[in-house]
């Protein structure tokens, strides 16, 4: 198209600065001059900061090649388009886990099955390939699963229903070659969940009550299957024995293989983030909020949110009590709670003092070098065992860190682990991070450098005088980021999701982390996606009930799954991937489909980028 006496570039740019990004893209196809201005870096930098309400002091992601492409990444590559709903489960779906290759994923549910799904069908849809019921083993439900490192075995954790209405946990190992059950391992309390240490060994827990408020947690290393040599070779070994006080227990174990981190998957500007926090708060009061992709069916997002909140207010006291067994009341805690009023405060305080004294005299001294922060370019690869614990109340409010040494990664050696003196029969924690709130979820970044923690905060300045009466917890969920290299919290909390159940009924909200994004479920019937670098919430993913778990495909972060109490698993893909899939299905319309918001290339511009 030939241009007439056009406006100066500077004037066109000034006009474009006052237009929304969609209008800028459309105007860019008017002529060559306007197209060139519509790709101006200064223009897209302004559009980027204004549209996403990001403080100017926060720098562009180091891996970004341009402001235009960075805007496109956050707008077009978020898995926020629902493409499929899986309805094969018949009760609440509690957890999702991808294989390391991303070709399979597993799901656990209150219907007491673990299901395996195929993600590599030629038509792009996801299909069920196998389902195993654990009801025959007297399980109440399946609650967690994890693939081993080479995707040959599946660990499945569940609640085992014992006699007299007691409930403990059990871990099953299933072969992914022929779906046979290879072994079953005791796991107590059941919200230890269990995890893989390597391809062939898994970690489980056991809990022993020493007194009314004092216990010890034993963490065991188990061989995943027993072979012909099992009569002569150890298949289980004790890793650690840790004292618990004030009715707390060890739960939610996970293994972090922390490398030297010369090239972490996320480069964070912590100083800029802290400086920008006050500025961000001021901007939020003056400007519009970041874009949320609300994928519900209602016409008004505000009306929908108000309806959801009213509905949750009515259900808080009744629905979740029957829907979830309280994961943070493991077997053994119940007798403490029921006996709470019969035990005098003085007796509890005396028991705690005795337990602390016994622990100080009978606990192996920690080695400060085991988890000492490493300087840049120094240090060695480390394997950490991470778990939730506590010291003030039974609510999990601390993250315990215990380093696993190379000689502890096999069941070879003494059955009860390393030799120790009779006076040192407890292991110390190598490091503890206090979250000052009830921890309800944890997830590792792909490179295991960062630990993301969901928590519900306690009131500021609260004092806990009774371990059986923890402080009230906030409805807002804070998402903390902990650097496992420096062993400290590095980012201000992310906040957008909510939970409503009280402290004594609080349950896990599983989260997941990809290269660029972090996602979490919530009790407000939505899943949420944040950008890890900019600390902004990018999408809300609607369900009809509580969202318990989310999972990114490790092979493609533009594929996300969400699991809900509405008994469904929803499959979400990015707008970019949806367009590409439609283009492959309808080749004649490919040019039209690919010429949408960020993908179009005009013929009259001769393919000019």
Residue 323: Cβ-neighbour burial (10 angstroms; 0-12, 13-18, 19+): middle
Confidence of residue 425 (pLDDT cuts 50, 70, 90): confident
Residue 471: pLDDT above 70? yes
Answer whether 487's CB lies under 8 Å from 371's CB: yes
**Percentage of residues in the chain with pLDDT exceeding 90?**
57
Report CA-CA distances (Å) from 465 to 249, 280, 333, 334, 516: 19, 37, 18, 20, 42
- Which strand (E) or helix (H) includes residue 398? strand 398-403
Confidence of residue 400 (pLDDT cuts 50, 70, 90): very high
Residue 481: pLDDT above 60? yes
Number of residues that make up the chain: 609
Strand order in the sheet with 201-209: 195-196, 201-209, 215-223, 236-244
pLDDT confidence of residue 283: 53
Task: Give 261 or 180, the one with higher predicted confidence.
Answer: 180
Q: Is residue 309 helix, strand or coil?
A: helix
Average pLDDT in the 559-574 region? 98
Query: What's the rounded Cα separation, in Å, for the pair 570 and 577?
Result: 16
Query: What's the rounded Cα separation, in Å, for the pair 260 and 402?
Result: 18
Q: How many CA atoms lie within 13 A of 553 on its CB side?
A: 22
Query: What's the rounded Cα separation, in Å, for the pair 43 and 441?
Result: 40
Note the Cα 25 to chain centre separation in Å: 36
Task: Give 359 or 210, the one with higher predicted confidence.
Answer: 210
For 184-216, what is each residue's pLDDT tens digit? 999 999 999 999 999 999 999 999 998 888 999
Residue 292: pLDDT above 50? no
CA Rg value for the chain: 26
Task: Give 397 or 268, the one with higher predicted confidence.
Answer: 397
Q: Is residue 541 helix, strand or coil?
A: strand
Residue 316: pLDDT above 50? no
Residue 511: pLDDT above 50? yes
Residue 504: pLDDT above 80? no
Question: What is the fold of 78-259+364-585?
Answer: Methylamine Dehydrogenase; Chain H (2.130.10)
For 125-170, what is each residue's pLDDT tens digit? 999 999 999 999 999 999 999 999 999 999 999 999 877 666 789 9
pLDDT confidence of residue 281: 53
Count of CB atoms within 10 A of residue 454's CB?
Answer: 27
Task: Give 234 or 553, the one with higher predicted confidence.
Answer: 553
pLDDT confidence of residue 272: 45
pLDDT confidence of residue 379: 58
DSSP 92-141: -EEEEEE-SSSSEEEEEETTSEEEEEE---TTS--EEEEEEE-GGGTEEE
Helix axes 67-76, 41-52, angle to 10 degrees: 40
Closest CA to 169 of 149, 148, 184, 153: 184
Most confident of 110-119, 162-171, 402-411, 505-514: 110-119
Confidence of residue 65 (pLDDT cuts 50, 70, 90): very high
Residue 513: pLDDT above 50? yes
pLDDT confidence of residue 268: 52
Report CA-CA distances (Å) from 283 to 277, 290, 328: 10, 11, 38
Residue 357: pLDDT above 80? no
Helix axes 41-52, 9-16, angle to 10 degrees: 10
For the chain, what is the total number of helices (H) and then of strands (E)? 12, 32
pLDDT confidence of residue 290: 39
Residue 226: pLDDT above 60? yes
Task: Give 568 or 163, the one with higher predicted confidence.
Answer: 568
Q: Where in the sequence of the chain do the CATH 2.130.10.10 domains occur? A: 78-259+364-585
Query: What's the rounded Cα separation, in Å, for the pair 515 and 533?
Result: 10
Closest CA to 505 of 317, 341, 361: 317
Confidence of residue 491 (pLDDT cuts 50, 70, 90): low
**Percentage of residues in the chain with pLDDT exceeding 70?**
73
pLDDT confidence of residue 139: 95
Task: Give 277 or 470, the one with higher predicted confidence.
Answer: 470
Task: Give 418 or 279, the one with higher predicted confidence.
Answer: 279
Q: What are phi and psi for residue 475, nearest 5 degrees? A: -75, -30
For the chain, what is the mean pLDDT?
81
Most confident of 169-178, 460-469, 584-593: 169-178
Average pLDDT in the 327-336 region? 46
Residue 302: pLDDT above 50? no
pLDDT confidence of residue 23: 94
pTM of the predicted model as reported, rounded to 2 decimal places: 0.82
β-pairing verdict for 293-294 and 536-542: parallel
Average pLDDT in the 497-512 region? 84
Confidence of residue 499 (pLDDT cuts 50, 70, 90): confident
For 40-51, what is each residue's pLDDT tens digit? 999 999 999 999
């Amino acid at each position: 198209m030939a241009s007439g006496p056009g406006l100066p570039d500077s004037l066109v740019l000034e006009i474009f600065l006052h237009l929304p990004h969609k209008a800028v893209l459309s105007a860019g196809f008017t002529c060559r001059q306007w197209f060139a201005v519509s790709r101006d870096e200064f223009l897209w930098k302004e559009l980027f900061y204004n549209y996403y309400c990001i403080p100017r002091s926060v720098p562009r992601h180091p891996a970004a090649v341009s402001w235009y492409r960075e805007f496109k990444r956050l707008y077009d590559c978020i898995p926020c388009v629902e493409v499929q709903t899986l309805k094969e489960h018949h009760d609440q779906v509690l957890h999702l886990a991808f294989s390391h290759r991303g070709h399979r994923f597993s799901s656990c549910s209150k219907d007491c099955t673990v299901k395996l799904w195929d993600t590599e069908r030629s038509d792009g849809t996801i299909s069920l390939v196998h389902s195993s019921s654990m009801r025959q083993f007297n399980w109440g439900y399946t609650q967690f699963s994890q693939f081993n490192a080479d995707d040959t075995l599946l660990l499945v954790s569940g609640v085992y229903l014992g006699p007299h209405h007691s409930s403990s946990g059990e871990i099953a190992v299933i072969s992914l070659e022929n779906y046979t059950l290879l072994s079953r391992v005791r796991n107590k309390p059941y919200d230890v969940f269990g995890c893989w240490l390597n391809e062939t060994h898994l970690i489980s827990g056991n809990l022993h009550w020493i007194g009314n408020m004092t216990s010890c947690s034993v963490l065991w290393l188990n061989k995943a299957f027993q072979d012909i040599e099992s009569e002569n070779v150890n298949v289980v070994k004790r890793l650690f024995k840790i004292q618990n006080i004030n009715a707390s227990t060890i739960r939610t174990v996970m293994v972090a293989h922390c490398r030297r981190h010369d090239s972490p998957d996320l480069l964070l500007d912590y100083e800029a983030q802290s400086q920008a926090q006050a500025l961000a708060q001021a901007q939020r009061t003056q400007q519009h909020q970041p874009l949320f992709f609300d994928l519900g069916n209602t016409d008004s997002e505000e009306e929908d949110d108000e309806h959801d909140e009213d509905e949750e207010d009515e259900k808080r006291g009744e629905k979740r009590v029957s829907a979830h067994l309280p994961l943070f009341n493991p077997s053994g805690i119940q007798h403490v709670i029921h006996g709470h009023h019969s035990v005098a405060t003085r007796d509890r305080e005396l028991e705690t003092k005795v337990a602390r004294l016994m622990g100080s005299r009978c606990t192996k001294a920690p080695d400060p070098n085991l988890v000492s922060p490493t300087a840049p370019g120094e240090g060695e690869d480390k394997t950490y065992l991470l778990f939730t614990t506590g010291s003030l109340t039974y609510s999990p409010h601390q993250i315990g860190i215990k380093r696993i040494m190379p000689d502890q990664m096999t069941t070879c050696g003494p059955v009860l682990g390393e030799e120790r003196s009779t006076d040192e029969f407890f292991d110390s924690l190598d490091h503890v991070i206090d979250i000052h709130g009830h921890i309800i979820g944890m997830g590792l970044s792909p490179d295991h450098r960062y630990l993301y923690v969901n928590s519900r905060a306690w009131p500021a300045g609260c004092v806990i005088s009774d371990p059986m009466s923890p402080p009230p917890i906030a409805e807002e969920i804070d998402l903390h980021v902990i650097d496992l290299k420096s062993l400290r919290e590095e980012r201000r909390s992310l906040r957008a999701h909510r939970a409503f159940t009280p402290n004594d009924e609080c349950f896990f909200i599983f989260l997941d982390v990809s290269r660029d994004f972090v996602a979490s479920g919530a009790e407000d019937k939505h899943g949420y996606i944040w950008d890890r670098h900019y600390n902004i919430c990018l999408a809300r993913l609607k369900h009809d009930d509580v969202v318990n778990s989310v999972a990114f495909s490790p092979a493609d972060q533009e594929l996300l799954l969400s699991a809900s109490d509405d008994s469904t698993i929803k499959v979400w893909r990015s707008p970019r991937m949806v367009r590409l899939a439609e283009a492959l299905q309808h080749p004649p319309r490919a040019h039209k489909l690919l010429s949408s918001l960020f993908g179009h290339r005009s013929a009259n511009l001769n393919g000019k980028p």
